[in-house]
């Protein structure tokens, strides 16, 4: 089922593209506007060089870490990605099985195309739930309770997408969600207020969205609603990192949403150091955006990330080969990370410090 000539994550791209409709491919693989941030997410990793230590003792080498009280075998998680049935008919169910096989934690999107309960019923590895605060707060609470009840271990509040980015590639491809694919977790939600233009206004600012966009107050509210750790996703500056901690976040994800929201944000790996400095070890700082190699994971850890997440790479594996494709992508990245750690003479995660990269 897995094509024999696949040796790296990006080798999945042509197979995934072939199996998806052109419009769905544009949705998954595209970014915002000119896709400068999306491209830079990868390019910035490629600009960094590793500084190795030879003849280091490798006995006891390990990629294990602890995160929010759980032991993870290696620092790679599956990022929340909406509507995975666009990539494969089993959608998120196949991703959960792939993650389970490799004991990886998966972050399930609010906009998953399979219900969070069906996913937890199939999962053999930890799940976190990514939350978009809904206009209807009672419905939002109900979602949180469902995630708690189903055994999800953390909530990830996505802060960087109160409105959709300008997704030109999707527009050109004429993407719209096929009727048989839906946000399964949001069934029964009162529809958001209609996009009527307020008096004197027009477009985005004339409609209801600005007033519905979550604020820091909503983060404080959310933290009080749950005993799960609340991780804030979409942090890019020291200022926002400080605000996040002041308002109760238990962890951060440095992320630009894979370059899908605001184009010309800095690459995630370039935004990481200032966030790490502001956080000063008080909470875990995760990173996503542009990870395509084990060396990328290594570089993120060297610049202060506790762990990393991948988005498109596992969706490409999913589209091309279902659950085994997801597992294979995780396996390749994990193996590359181990090889990198061995060759760089950093046998444990805490050995991977700033001295391991050259900027
Ligand atoms: C995403 N991402 C995302 N993030 C989120 O918080 N909720 C979501 O529903 C989605 N949906 C989504 C769909 C698709 C098709 C993509 C590609 C991405 C962003 C995702 O969690 C992550 O930040 C990026 O994918 C990381 O970048 P890479 O690994 O794709 O380069």
pLDDT band at 197 (very low <50, low <70, confident <90, very high): very low
Give pLDDT, residue 194.
Answer: 53
Active site residues: 257
Mean per-residue pLDDT of the chain = 96
Q: Is 95 in the pocket of ligand 1 (CB under 6 A)?
A: no
- Mean pLDDT, rounded, for 347-355: 98
- Mean pLDDT, rounded, for 153-168: 97
- 63 touches 334 (CB < 8 A): yes
- Mean pLDDT, rounded, for 56-63: 98
Ligand 1 atom at minimal distance to the Cα of residue 256: 23
Higher pLDDT, 174 or 197: 174
C-alpha pair distances (Å), 25 with each of 28, 87, 263: 5, 8, 19
Mutate to test the pocket of ligand 1, among 27, 119, 257, 286 (most ligand atoms within 8 A of CB): 257
Ligand 1 atom at minimal distance to the Cα of residue 130: 6
Q: How many CB atoms lie within 10 A of CB 342?
A: 14
pLDDT band at 195 (very low <50, low <70, confident <90, very high): very low
Q: Is 126 in the pocket of ligand 1 (CB under 6 A)?
A: no
Decide if pLDDT at 201 tops 70: no
Distance between CA 248 and CA 303 in Å, rounded? 24
Distance between CA 38 and CA 268 in Å, rounded? 9
- Binding residues are 27, 80-82, 109, 130, 132, 158, 167, 233, 255, 257, 260, 288-292, 311-312
The protein residue whose alpha carbon is closest to atom 23 in ligand 1 is 257
Q: What is the 356 CA–ligand 1 centroid distance (Å)?
A: 28
298 CA to centre of own chain: 17
- Mean pLDDT, rounded, for 306-331: 98
Give pLDDT, residue 359.
Answer: 83
Tell me: ipTM over 0.85: yes
Distance between CA 231 and CA 238 in Å, rounded? 16
Which of 98, 95, 89, 90 lies closest to 108, judged by CA? 95
Give pLDDT, residue 188.
Answer: 87
C-alpha pair distances (Å), 90 with each of 86, 112, 126, 151, 277: 9, 11, 19, 21, 41
Q: What is the pTM of this model?
A: 0.97
Percent of the chain's residues with pLDDT above 90: 94
- 94 touches 328 (CB < 8 A): no
Mutate to test the pocket of ligand 1, among 77, 131, 310, 311 (most ligand atoms within 8 A of CB): 311
Give pLDDT, residue 14.
Answer: 98
Give pLDDT, residue 196.
Answer: 47
Place of tokens 């085994």: 324
- Mean pLDDT, rounded, for 224-229: 98
């Amino acid at each position: 089922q897995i094509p024999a000539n696949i040796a790296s994550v990006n080798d999945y791209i042509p197979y995934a593209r072939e199996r998806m409709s052109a419009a769905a491919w544009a949705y998954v693989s595209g970014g915002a506007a000119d896709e400068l941030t999306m491209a830079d997410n990868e390019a910035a990793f490629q600009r960094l060089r590793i500084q190795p230590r030879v003849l280091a003792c490798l006995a006891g080498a390990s990629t294990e870490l602890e995160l929010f009280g759980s032991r993870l075998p290696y620092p790679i998680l599956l990022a929340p990605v909406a509507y995975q049935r666009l990539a494969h008919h089993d959608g998120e169910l196949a991703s959960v099985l792939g993650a389970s096989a490799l004991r990886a934690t998966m972050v399930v999107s609010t906009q998953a195309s399979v219900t969070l309960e069906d996913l937890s019923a199939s999962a053999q590895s930890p799940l976190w739930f990514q939350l978009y605060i809904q206009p209807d707060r009672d419905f939002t609470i109900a979602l949180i309770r469902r995630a708690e009840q189903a055994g999800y271990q953390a909530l990830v509040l996505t802060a960087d997408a109160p409105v959709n980015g300008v997704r030109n590639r999707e527009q050109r491809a004429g993407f719209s969600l096929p009727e048989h694919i839906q946000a399964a977790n949001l069934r029964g939600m009162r529809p958001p207020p209609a996009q009527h233009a307020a008096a004197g206004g027009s477009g985005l600012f004339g409609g209801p969205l600005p007033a519905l966009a979550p604020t820091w107050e909503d983060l404080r509210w959310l933290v009080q609603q749950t005993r799960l750790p609340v991780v804030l996703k979409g942090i890019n500056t020291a200022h926002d990192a400080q605000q996040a901690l002041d308002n109760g976040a238990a962890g951060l994800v440095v992320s630009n949403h894979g370059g899908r929201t605001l184009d010309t944000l800095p690459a995630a790996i370039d935004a990481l150091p200032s966030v790490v400095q502001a956080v000063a070890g008080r909470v875990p700082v995760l990173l996503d955006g542009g990870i395509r190699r084990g060396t990328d994971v290594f570089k993120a850890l060297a610049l202060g990330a506790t762990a990393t997440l991948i988005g498109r790479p596992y969706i490409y594996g999913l589209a091309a080969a279902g659950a085994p494709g997801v597992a294979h992508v995780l396996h390749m990245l994990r193996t590359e990370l181990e090889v990198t750690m061995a060759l760089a003479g950093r046998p444990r995660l805490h050995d991977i410090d700033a001295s391991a990269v050259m900027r």
